[in-house]
Amino acid sequence: MTLSRDGARATMPAPFGLPVVTFHLDLPYSSDCARLFAPLARRPWAHWLDSAWPASRAGRYDIITALPRATLVTRGQETRIEYADGRFEVSGECPLEVLRASLGPPRAPLAAPFSGGALGYFGYDLARRLHRLPAVARDVEGLPEMAVGIYDGALVIDHHEHRCRLWASDDAVGQDWVERFLSCLREEPSVADFALTGEVACGLDREAYRRAFARVQDYIRAGDCYQVNLAMRFAAPCLGHPWALYLALRARNPAPFSAWLNFPFGQVLSSSPERFLCVRDGLVETRPIKGTRPRSDDPGEDARQQAELSGSAKDRAENLMIVDLLRNDLGQVCAPGSVTVPSLFALESYATVHHLVSTVQGRLADGRSALDQLAAAFPGGSITGAPKLRAMQIIEELEAERRGVYCGAIGYLGWDGGMDTNIAIRTLTCGEDRLRFWAGGGLVADSQADAEYQECLDKARATREVLAGFRAG
């Protein structure tokens, strides 16, 4: 090993008795991961999984990576696999099976949440490859359904232990990746302007929302479904690169499952508070959010909103519907009897809203993997409804535009078989001089149209307030 005297090897037992040797390099710790990542921010396929520490109080690890050995981009029925040397191939297989082949058999776990593997996003519309859905909504964003890079290593910042460590595989490819990655970190950050050049417009006004709401109620009364997540899209014209916008968003609305993803076709900016699926050492966890109240600057009113949410029979019932759905999703892949609900209706507070959050856990059955669990549970039940397939069919009918990245998942699947992903809510996309984001909520039998419409506006409030500071002129 020639990279640094501070580097160390860790040899671990691996499947079939083959050793897995990894390299780690300790770097000076900094709590300011934004400054650390800034030299990479405009580099294609540079990604940052951001715990928004310390303001969110919930994050521990930040993960930074760039320079993939290969990229997997799915559009429609084809996934293009492009390698760093310019070679490429195209597959018509299920994108998750293409990803499985790219990762290969799992290696032994290491003392890092992610030391290399796949990192990127799985858009909501990837569900069309997993479920039989009609094709009604328009694709106005034109983004890939899946976009992930395959990385030889990652920089992992541990805010609990105040440690910054670079991980990579100990082979010629891994050494080359580390040297190039360190070189990128030493570059001067490039400065880019960003501005909105017009108003933020919502694709669903109050009256249109009421009509869609009424259709959902018709389906619920007819027994088609119990809950449907109905969303509205916001959009605005823009110019420039949105790195400064992401920094403003994370300052205004920090969240433990935030992310910045930079692609050749655009950027994804996420301030998600919701974990979708985490798999570590065979343990699966999901933390659905259902139940929302707005924050208030008045302490007394804020406490009243908290108490009202905690005591709301409607919000608890809505949350429980999704917990039951996710117990079923985990039960398809987890060992019989291993699925439990260690926490129901916990109150969590964020910059502009309070939420009810539950926790569902299970243990993977023998021979099953994180990718199997992703396929079984995708997309997350908290942003579809119950039963899931019928709710998705209704969403396709009532939402005029496809969701794209929104309500999909952002995160990683490591060489070791581990996984952590968010639900891509409070998430913006930027590309071709257009910025878009969404807000939505679950509708049940006793929902009220105006209250649900206002809840969507409450969820979008932090984003709209930040965007107001980026108006041109």
Instruction: Give me the residue label for tokens 């709590």.
Output: 31
Q: How far apart are the first and last CA of the chain?
A: 54
The Cα–Cα gap between 101 and 94 comes to 11
pLDDT in tens, 367-388: 999 999 999 999 999 999 999 9
pLDDT in tens, 119-177: 999 999 999 999 989 899 999 999 999 999 999 999 999 999 999 999 987 666 778 89
pLDDT-derived band at 108, boundaries 50, 70, 90 = confident
The Cα–Cα gap between 144 and 321 comes to 31
Q: Is the pTM of this model over 0.85?
A: yes
CATH of 7-468, picked from 3.40.50.2000, 3.30.980.10, 3.60.120.10, 3.40.190.10, is 3.60.120.10
pLDDT of 54: 55
What is the 8-class DSSP label of residue 350? -
Is 285 labeled as catalytic in the residue annotation? no
The Cα–Cα gap between 3 and 25 comes to 9
H/E stretch holding 362 reads: strand 353-363
Per-residue tokens: 37: 């990542």
- 31-56: average pLDDT: 88
Q: Which of 448, 423, 452 is nearest to 124 (CA)?
A: 423
Is 290 labeled as catalytic in the residue annotation? yes
What burial class does residue 150 get, using C-beta atoms within 10 Å of its C-beta: 0-12 exposed, 13-18 middle, 19+ buried?
Answer: buried
Torsion sign across C-alpha atoms 472, 205, 257, 273: positive
pLDDT of 473: 67
The Cα–Cα gap between 89 and 67 comes to 19
- 231-249: average pLDDT: 96
- Assess whether pLDDT exceeds 50 at residue 20: no
DSSP reduced 3-state for 37: helix
- Assess whether pLDDT exceeds 50 at residue 101: yes
Exactly one of 290, 318, 388, 399 is catalytic; name it. 290
pLDDT of 24: 84
- Assess whether pLDDT exceeds 90 at residue 219: yes
Cis peptide before 387 (omega within 30 of 0): yes
Per-residue tokens: 260: 């910045």
Exactly one of 141, 274, 401, 452 is catalytic; name it. 274
The Cα–Cα gap between 164 and 406 comes to 31
Q: Which of 248, 192, 267 is nearest to 437 (CA)?
A: 267
Asked if 355 and 347 count as a contact pair (C-beta separation under 8 A), the reply is yes
Asked if 41 and 34 count as a contact pair (C-beta separation under 8 A), the reply is no
- Assess whether pLDDT exceeds 80 at residue 55: no
Please state the domain extents for the chain.
Answer: 7-468
pLDDT in tens, 161-201: 999 999 987 666 778 899 999 999 999 998 789 999 999 99
Q: What is the DSSP string of 73-109?
A: EEETTEEEEEETTS-EEEE-S-HHHHHHHHH-SPPPP
- CB atoms inside a 10 Å sphere around CB 19: 11
